[in-house]
Structure 1
Amino acid sequence: MARRNELKELVLPTTAMVAVQCSTVVGTILFKAASSKGMNYFVFTAYCYALGSLVFLLLAFFFKRKTALPPSKFPLFSRILLFELLGFSGQLCFYKGLQLGSPTLASANSNLIPAFTFILAVFFRMEKVAFRSSSTQAKIIGTIASIFGACVIILYKGPKVISSLTWTSSSSSLSSSVLLQWPSVLMSSESNWIIGGLLQIVTFLIISFGFIIQSQIMKIYPEEITVTFFGKLLGTIISLPVCLLFEPNLSSWRPSSSLAVVAVLYTGILGNSIYALIYIWAIHLKGPVFVASFQPTSIVIAVVMSAIFLGEAIFLGSVIGTLILSTGLYCVLWGKVKEEEEGEEMANVDYSSLSTIDGSTPLLQRQLG
C-alpha cells in the first residue's frame, strides 16, 4: 500500500512532467519550422485555443458522471478569467519571441521559471521558508543548481564528446534532406535575438504567476477537467476577436503548409489540452514549485533531440551542465519529499501524551486547542 502511494505521489508526477517537457520541446521546434513557412503566430494561437476547447468539451462529455458544474463563486471564475488572460498574453509573447529567437533560446530562458515560481510562492505564502530546515535548504540549493547547470550548457561549449547521433546508412539521406535543413530555419540570421529573449522572459514570468493562480483555483474547486474546459472556452472567446483584430487578412488564416497543420494539431491537442490537464493535475497534487522545478530539463531534452534529429554534436559543456542540472532537480524533489514527511510527523504528534512536570496541560496543547 505504501509503495502504491509512493508511485502516485512522486514517481507518476515526475514521469508525467518529464514527458510534458519532451513534448514542449517538440512543439517549439514544430512551430518554429511552421512559422518559417508563413504561419502567423496570432492565427496559430487562436487555432490552438479553439482546438483545445473542442478536446476538453469531448473530455467533459465522456467524464460527465465524474464532473459537476462549478459553483457560482466569483473568486473561482475571476481566477480562471485572470489565468486565461495571462495565458493568452503569454502565448502571444512566447510565439513572437520564438519567431525572433529559437527553441534553444526558449529552453534556456525557461530555467527562470523555478526561480520565479519559488519567489512568488514564498510571497503568496504557499511555500514554507525555514532556512534552518533541511527541506528548505535542499529546495533553494536545487533551484540554484538547476539554473547554474543550464547556464553551463549555454555558456560553455568545450570539446566534442559525441560527433552526431543521427541515423546512418539508409536513414542518412532522410536526415540530410529533411532534418538537417532545420538548423538554418531555427537559427535564422534575421532573428532579433535580444527582443525574442526578452519576450520569452516575460512569458515565463507569466507562466510562473499562472502556476500560483492554478494552485489557488484547485483549492477552490478541485475538478481538473471542468476547470480546464471552462478556461479553454474563455481563452477561445478572448483569443478569436483579438487575433482577428490584429490579423484581419483571411488568407493568413488558411494553413500555409502541411507542416503548419501538423504544428497546430500537435500543439492544440497535446500542448494546449492534454498537457495543460497534466500541469493542473500535478499542481493540485504536488504544488507549483514541484511543477516549475522540471523546467530546466527542457534544455537537456533540446540538446539531446538536436543531436538525434538535427545531427548536432554533443559537447563537454552539455554533459557537465546536464549532471549539475540533474543534481539540482534531485535536490528539489528530495526537499519536497522531506517537507511532506515533516508535515506528516507533525500531524501525527499525540499532544495528549505530553504533560508538564506538575501534570498540567502543556502550553502548546492549550494554544492548539
Structure 2
Amino acid sequence: MGKECLPTVAMVLVQLGFAGMNVLSKLALDTGMSPYVLIAYRNLIAGVFLAPGAYYFEWRSGMVITKKVLTQIFFSSIFGATLNQVLYFVGLKSTTPTVACALSNTLPALTFVMAAVLKMETVRLGTPSGQAKVLGTVVCVGGSMIMPFYKGPLLKVWASPMHWRYAEHATDATTLPSGNAAIVGDVLIILSCVAWAVWFILQSKMSERFSAPYTSTTIMSLMAGVQCAGISVVMDRSVSAWKLGFDIRLYAALYVV
C-alpha cells in the first residue's frame, strides 16, 4: 500500500515545489531582480549541476550526439527553457503567484490539443475515453480561467505567526497588479504554457532517437543559459543586475533550479 502511494505523494510534492518557486520568484522580482537574469542563472546552474550525473550515468550508453539530435536539443532549449521561462517569469512580474499557478493548469489541455492535431493522440468522440479526454480538456481550461478573470470579495484569513523579512514589503491586496498590466501578465503565462506544450511534443520525438535524458537536459540547460544571458545583455545592460548576495535573489536562483 505504501509503494502504491509513492507516485501520488511525489506528484503532490512536485506541485508544492512549483508553488514555492512561484512565491520565491515573485519576491525576488518584486525586489527589482531582472527576470532574464534569474532565468539565465537558473539554466546555467542547472546545467552545471546535471553535468556530473549525465557523465556518470550515460557516458557508456553508446548514444551518439548527431547534428540532428543537437538541432532537436537546440529547439527544445528555445521552446522548453528560454521562451517558456522568459514568458512565464516576465508574466509573473505583472501578476500574482496564485494566478500563475492556476493558469499553468492549462498546460495539459494545450498539450492534448497539439498532440491530437499532430495525430500523436487518438481522439474517438464516440467512445467513453474520447469523451472523457474532451470533457477533461474543457474543465481544465475553464477552471484555470476562473481565477484570473473572476473578481470576488476579499477573503480575510487569520494572521500568520510566521514573518519573513523578505516578504514584509511584498505586494498586498491594495497594490496588486490590475488593469492592462495584469491582463498582459496573464496572457504571457498562457503563452509560456503554449511554448511548454511545444517542448513536450519535441521531447517525445527526440526521445525516439536519443534516449539519454540527463545528457540532453544538461545540453539544453546550458544552451538556454547562454540564450537567456544574451537576452539579458540586450534587455538589462547594467552589470549590477547580475550581482547576487546572501539575499532573496540568491535563494530564488538556487531554488528555481
The verdict on a shared fold, with TM-score over 0.5 as the criterion, is: yes
| Number of residue pairs the alignment of both structures matches | 254
**Aligned residue number for residue 75 of structure 1:** 68
- When residues 185 and 166 of structure 1 are mapped into structure 2, their CA distance, relative to the original with a 3 A threshold, is closer
The aligned amino acid for 1:83 is S
Q: Name which structure has the greater RCO, CA cutoff 8 Å, separation 6+.
A: 2
Over aligned residue pairs, what C-alpha RMSD do you find?
3.0
Indicate the SS of the match to 1:130: coil
Structure 2, unmatched stretches of 5+, are none
Q: Which has the larger radius of gyration?
A: 1
**Aligned residue number for residue 247 of structure 1:** 236
Indicate the SS of the match to 1:164: coil
1:117 corresponds, among 90, 104, 111, to 111
Percent of aligned pairs with the same amino acid: 23
**Aligned residue number for residue 170 of structure 2:** 182
**Aligned residue number for residue 37 of structure 2:** 43
**Aligned residue number for residue 22 of structure 2:** 28
Distance 1:227 1:177 in 2: 39
- When residues 100 and 159 of structure 1 are mapped into structure 2, their CA distance, relative to the original with a 3 A threshold, is closer
Indicate the SS of the match to 1:182: coil
Contact 2:39 2:228 in 1 (8 A): yes
**Aligned residue number for residue 250 of structure 2:** 261
1:256 Cα deviation after fit: 6.2
- When residues 193 and 73 of structure 1 are mapped into structure 2, their CA distance, relative to the original with a 3 A threshold, is same
1:165 Cα deviation after fit: 6.2
Indicate the SS of the match to 1:208: helix
**Aligned residue number for residue 91 of structure 1:** 85
**Aligned residue number for residue 140 of structure 1:** 134
1:205 corresponds, among 170, 191, 194, to 194
- The question of 1:218 aligning with 2:207 is answered yes
* Per-residue Cα deviation, 1:289-317 (whole angstroms, up to 9, x for no partner): xxxxxxxxxxxxxxxxxxxxxxxxxxxxx
Distance 2:98 2:232 in 1: 27
The aligned amino acid for 1:79 is Q
Indicate the SS of the match to 1:25: helix
- When residues 61 and 165 of structure 1 are mapped into structure 2, their CA distance, relative to the original with a 3 A threshold, is farther
Indicate the SS of the match to 1:63: helix
Contact 2:22 2:101 in 1 (8 A): no
The aligned amino acid for 1:146 is C
**Aligned residue number for residue 224 of structure 2:** 235
1:142 Cα deviation after fit: 2.0
Distance 2:231 2:9 in 1: 36
- The question of 1:149 aligning with 2:143 is answered yes
The aligned amino acid for 1:78 is T
Distance 1:70 1:142 in 2: 38
- When residues 72 and 153 of structure 1 are mapped into structure 2, their CA distance, relative to the original with a 3 A threshold, is closer
The aligned amino acid for 1:68 is S
Distance 2:166 2:228 in 1: 33
Distance 1:26 1:96 in 2: 17
1:267 Cα deviation after fit: 0.6
TM-score normalized with structure 1 length:
0.61
Distance 1:224 1:165 in 2: 45
